[in-house]
Amino acid sequence: MKNITKFIVPIIFVGLLIIGLQSCQKYDDGPLISLSTRTSRVANNWKVDNYKVNGTDFTSLMADYKETYTTDHNYTYTWGLLGGSGTWAFTNNYANVQITGTDNQSSVTLVILKLEQKQFWYYIMDGNDKKEYHMIQQ
């Protein structure tokens, strides 16, 4: 009986640990565990890898689009000859990024889908259009 208990208890412990870690995952497509802070993962130079509007691929139109986020919460973007700057902050318990001050807009909300050191996926709602950005590190 003692041999069975020595075998079953560790298996149950590992099973509960795995279930607990999965429930801690913040983003549906994000990493299970990360040693980097969310701020350090966002703070990067990003370029578009994939861009969709309502599920239709328009990546070729956004080939030159780039974004930069800094650890002191500054934000810039460039798209060909266009560009802008503002500030960013996490909102909604780190589920969103709020960008303020860009192109005289009050703000835009990015809903984070995936946040890793080399990938940052999010979408924005533009009226009824869902614009999904899959950004990769430059």
29: pLDDT strictly greater than 60: no
Judge if pTM exceeds 0.85.
no
pLDDT score, position 101 = 85
Position 1 confidence tier, pLDDT thresholds 50, 70, 90 = low
Separation of CA 28 from chain center = 10
Taking the CA atoms of 84, 76, 104 and 97 in sequence, report the sign of the dihedral they define: positive
pLDDT in tens, 70-103: 999 999 999 999 999 999 999 999 999 999 986 6
> Could you give all domains of the chain from N- to C-terminal order, each with its CATH number?
27-137 (2.40.128.540)
Phi-psi region of 113 (alpha: psi -120 to 50; beta: other; left: phi over 0): alpha
